């Protein structure tokens, strides 16, 4: 675990979309247009609590501004690494800026990929 000096010197402000779905949290950074898994440490538990408190009917992306840093961690597959966002401070959510995680277009593309006739309702 990084020491306090590393946390302070590497901390940046990030703004993007946050979504918690299927026991994982993903942050989409607006500046880089990249997605990062959110590490379950630091301010993560408070982030999850605040997000789930919104009681969205479906998985929803919400604008979020935080302070934190990116860190390479071991990936799920042997020999791989993933870059994670470690949140050190929650600046805030903006629930005026939300979007459903899954859109009709998403399901249309998925159905075309698997060539499923079950999706003819689209």
Phi, psi of 71 (to 5 degrees): -145, 135
Q: What is the pTM of this model?
A: 0.75
Q: Which of 58, 59, 63, 48 is nearest to 14 (CA)?
A: 63
CB 86 within 8 A of CB 74: no
Domains of the chain: 4-119 (2.40.50.540)
CB 49 within 8 A of CB 71: no
Q: Give the tens place of pLDDT for each residue, 2-59.
A: 444 345 568 999 999 999 988 889 999 989 889 999 999 999 999 999 999 999 988 8
Neighbour tally for 64: CB within 10 Å: 24
The helix/strand count (H/E) of the chain reads as 3, 5
Task: Tell me if residue 63 falls in helix, strand or coil.
Answer: strand
């Amino acid at each position: 675990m990084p020491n306090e000096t590393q946390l302070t010197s590497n901390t940046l402000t990030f703004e993007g979309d946050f979504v918690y779905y299927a026991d994982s949290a993903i942050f989409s950074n607006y500046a880089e247009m990249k997605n990062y898994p959110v590490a379950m440490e630091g301010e993560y538990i408070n982030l999850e609590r605040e997000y789930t408190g919104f009681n969205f009917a479906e998985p929803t992306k919400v604008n979020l501004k935080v302070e934190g840093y990116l860190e390479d961690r071991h990936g799920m597959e042997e020999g791989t690494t993933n870059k994670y966002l470690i949140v050190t401070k929650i600046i805030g959510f903006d629930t005026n800026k939300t979007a459903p995680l899954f859109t009709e277009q998403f399901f249309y593309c998925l159905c075309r990929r698997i060539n499923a006739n079950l999706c003819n309702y689209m």
